């Protein structure tokens, strides 16, 4: 399977195929492993693989961690909105006023 990956031209591994192999392996592992399991695999890659491979694997693991953080925040906001709706707070004046303030920060 071919996975298209992008890396900045300033990356010291931009021309190294091992970098992209590491990213591709991390992509494949993300389908059946947790990010914490992938961090453990990364630790092994640092010791046993090339530096370029470990850097590619690491970059993808970091991206996955950031994606999880974004999803967790969105799910939390959705849960709070649902809870407010269920409790009738969504239509209250106090709730509406506080919610509109939040958007201005």
Residue 5 tokens read as 């990956």
The interaxial angle of helices 51-87 and 35-48, nearest 10 deg, is 170
State mean pLDDT over 33-42.
84
Is residue 35 very low, low, confident or very high in pLDDT (cuts 50, 70, 90)? confident
Which one, of 27, 28, 19, 24, lies nearest residue 49 by Cα? 19
Distance CA 11, CA 40 (A): 24
Residue 41 has pLDDT above 60, yes or no: yes
Distance CA 20, CA 52 (A): 8
Distance CA 66, CA 40 (A): 17
Residue 23 has pLDDT above 70, yes or no: yes
The highest-confidence range among 3-12, 24-33, 75-84, by mean pLDDT, is: 24-33
Residues 6+ apart with CB under 8 A from 26: 38, 56, 57, 59, 60, 61, 64
């Amino acid at each position: 399977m071919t996975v298209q990956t992008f890396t900045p031209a300033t990356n010291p591994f931009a021309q190294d195929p091992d970098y992209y192999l590491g990213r591709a392996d991390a992509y494949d592992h993300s389908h059946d492993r947790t990010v914490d399991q992938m961090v453990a695999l990364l630790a092994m890659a640092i010791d046993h693989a090339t530096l370029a491979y470990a850097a590619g694997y690491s970059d993808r693991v970091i991206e996955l961690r950031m994606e999880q953080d974004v999803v967790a925040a969105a799910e939390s906001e959705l849960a709070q909105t649902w809870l407010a709706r269920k409790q009738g707070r969504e239509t209250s004046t106090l709730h509406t006023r506080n919610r509109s303030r939040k958007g201005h920060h």
